[in-house]
Structure 1
Amino acid sequence: MSAVRTVLGDIRPEELGVCDAHDHLFLHSPRLPGQELNDATAARAELEAFRAAGGASVVQWTPYGMGRRAADLPLLSRAAGVHVVCATGLHQAAHYAPELLDGLRGKPADVFVAELTEGIGTSGVRAGLVKVAGGFHALDAHARWTMTAAAEAHHATGAPIAVHLELGTGALDVLDLLCGELGVPPHRVVLGHLNRSPDLVVHRQAAETGCWLAFDGPSRAHHATDWRMPDAVRALAEAGFGHRLLLDGDTVAAGARAVDGGPGMPYLLRRVRPRLERDLGTELTHRVLTDNPARAFAVDWDGR
């Protein structure tokens, strides 16, 4: 039976409810000095604000080695009354100390599978997806290494693979590798940040494979593409791909949180949802925020 693997255990897909399909409660990276998400009190307040806006679940894409604080996630999920899905996987090499990556040589797939089926460290929390990343209009050796490991983990568990597209680029290269060379079914791949490169032709080509397309809102200040996101979503919906779309907030820095004066997780429901309901109608918007995530992140774990 299909289930979504949350930090509190497996739930029926229909229990996921209104979902922020890509966000972060905890995160640290040398590429974001001084902007770490490492405050559990702030993370709880953010989840509670999302819940108050009508949200029911958050998929945290923070992968291995980037401060997931997996042991804290069940406490936050219970306290806020929000389902949380945790990730395994690896981001771009620039987000890690070389020695951490050296310690994974030859066995990243084993780590991913263990975190999906046994738990992350001693926390007992099991991941529900694998997160990897491409580069800017290309896939370097690190991306190919991590995506190969992600594909192995998928074949062992059925887990979905969520992909950070650098500035929204490289979608077709990612699909060629994961779905072409490595045999991952397209409906098990989630492409993130597509709004950051609003190329409607590429969006449609990607959608035609059967993968999931995730759009953030709002982007960082230097990604002047927010105003194009509804048009991109509408174009895909009008082309018949409304059943492949996901929406998310992707809060990656403390200053972006609602509790710190930023838009935060509630923005997805406070501003993005009404805009899309006006443009696309309430039925399709509900599908994108509720029905689609339930299908995208549900897996037949079969006892794993």
Structure 2
Amino acid sequence: MNPQEAPPAGPLVRTVLGDLPPGELGVCDAHDHLFLRTPLLPGQELADPVAAASELRAFREAGGRAVAQWTPRGMGRRRAELAALARATGIHLVAATGLHQAAHYTPESLGRVRGRLAELFVGDLTTAPVRAGLIKVAGGFHGLDAHARWVMAAAAEAHHATGAPVAVHLELGTGAAAVLDVLCGAGEVPPDRVILGHLGRSADVRAQLAAARSGAYLAFDGPSRAHHPTDWRLFDSLAALAEAGHGDRILLGGDTTTAAARAVGGGGPGMPYLLTGLRPALEAGLGGEFTEQVFVANPARAFAARWR
């Protein structure tokens, strides 16, 4: 190295208020939403910054220090208000770029970004006034359509340009193998830069173990009213992964998508339940070391990047 050159920067977590050493992230809700708008949930928008602040403060009072918001482009992510919330509450917030499934957008809005999707993702990650820290994409039910493959190709390109992690919505917990084939095979994204969301929505522990063996992170979300039929299996999945030596692949998040799902002013369980309900159960059943790993150490690695 030329002695006048600065040494390469280590991994950093890109928050809405700037880059953060991973060790400062703290207890993290690794998959949630503070703002969200989609035609698939009419009248159930997350659009109230006061309510968002109340939920964040309740999460902080329970011991939380960081939240990754997976709301992508075109779904009301409101990055400027995320920055204001981070300042007001002291919670580290990681925002997303990317696109969800085609059903969440109009054909006209998708047409406006065709041909420059990767460029838009890179701009959100590197030059926007409030920068994103992850790329959100989405698979389909047991497979990938042309829209998903297009978005994932752009996400892979943006990853190679920036180093950003890629977070994936798995429809009802399915299709992980197809997603990894596109992102890590054709797209050449390292598996440890991929976060697979919603695997718990399918109670197939074999698929969860296979995904963990790939080296990807597994983001389990819930419990929730919407996914209660599989949420009750969450503990068994985490225990099976830990027993197989994959405790270092696990992330946990609330995935609050409607106002009614919030702990403050809604029917819950919301963000705080991760720490007031789930964390004590994990400590009792799987130990404090495992619990610290999934809430602190794993998110610090998963969301950190050597930004380019």
Coarse TM-score class (shorter-chain normalised)? over 0.9
Matches of 1:160 and 1:223 in 2, distance apart?
Answer: 28
Match of 2:132 among 127, 130, 133: 127
The answer to whether the aligner puts 1:57 opposite 2:66 as a matched pair is yes
The answer to whether the aligner puts 1:264 opposite 2:264 as a matched pair is no
TM-score (norm 1): 0.97
Name the SS for the 1:103 alignment partner.
helix
Structure 1: gaps spanning 5 or more residues: none
Aligned to 1:150: 155
The answer to whether the aligner puts 1:41 opposite 2:41 as a matched pair is no
Matches of 1:221 and 1:52 in 2, distance apart?
Answer: 25
Contact map agreement 1:134 1:143 (CA 8 A) in 2: yes
Q: 1:30 to 1:146 in 2, by over 3 A?
A: same
Matches of 2:244 and 2:303 in 1, distance apart?
Answer: 23
* RMSD between aligned residues: 0.8
Match of 2:143 among 138, 163, 173: 138
**Deviation of 1:180 (Å):** 1.0
Match of 1:11 among 20, 27, 47: 20
TM-score (norm 2): 0.95
Matches of 2:225 and 2:143 in 1, distance apart?
Answer: 22
Matches of 1:48 and 1:222 in 2, distance apart?
Answer: 25
Q: Which amino acid aligns with 2:265?
A: D
**Deviation of 1:221 (Å):** 3.0
Q: 1:240 to 1:139 in 2, by over 3 A?
A: same
**Deviation of 1:223 (Å):** 4.3
- Of stretches 272-281 and 39-48 in structure 1, the one that deviates more from structure 2 is 272-281
Match of 1:294 among 285, 289, 300: 300
Contact map agreement 2:27 2:296 (CA 8 A) in 1: yes
**Deviation of 1:128 (Å):** 0.3
The answer to whether the aligner puts 1:85 opposite 2:94 as a matched pair is yes
Name the SS for the 1:263 alignment partner.
coil
Q: Which amino acid aligns with 2:280?
A: P
Contact map agreement 1:217 1:272 (CA 8 A) in 2: no
Aligned to 1:69: 78
How far does the alpha carbon of each residue in 1:212-256 deviate from its partner, in whole angstroms, 9 at most, with x for none?
Answer: 001112134354011100100110010000011000000000111
How far does the alpha carbon of each residue in 1:39-84 deviate from its partner, in whole angstroms, 9 at most, with x for none?
Answer: 0000000100000000000000000000011111111011111000
Contact map agreement 2:201 2:227 (CA 8 A) in 1: no
Q: Which amino acid aligns with 1:23?
A: D
Name the SS for the 2:83 alignment partner.
helix
Name the SS for the 2:246 alignment partner.
helix
Q: Which amino acid aligns with 2:175?
A: G
Name the SS for the 2:154 alignment partner.
helix
Aligned to 2:284: 278
Name the SS for the 2:35 alignment partner.
coil
**Deviation of 1:150 (Å):** 0.3
Match of 1:107 among 96, 107, 116: 116
Percent identical pairs in the alignment equals 67
Name the SS for the 2:136 alignment partner.
strand
Aligned length: 298
Aligned to 1:181: 186
Matches of 2:79 and 2:59 in 1, distance apart?
Answer: 20
Contact map agreement 2:166 2:194 (CA 8 A) in 1: yes
Name the SS for the 1:272 alignment partner.
helix
Name the SS for the 2:220 alignment partner.
strand
Matches of 2:160 and 2:226 in 1, distance apart?
Answer: 38
Ranges of 4+ aligned residues in structure 1 off by more than 4 Å: none
Contact map agreement 2:224 2:261 (CA 8 A) in 1: no
Q: 1:14 to 1:222 in 2, by over 3 A?
A: closer
Matches of 1:223 and 1:66 in 2, distance apart?
Answer: 25
Aligned to 2:252: 247
Q: Which amino acid aligns with 2:161?
A: A
**Deviation of 1:97 (Å):** 1.3
**Deviation of 1:275 (Å):** 1.3
How far does the alpha carbon of each residue in 1:139-178 deviate from its partner, in whole angstroms, 9 at most, with x for none?
Answer: 0000000000000000101100000000111011101111
Match of 2:41 among 22, 32, 39: 32
Matches of 2:306 and 2:275 in 1, distance apart?
Answer: 29
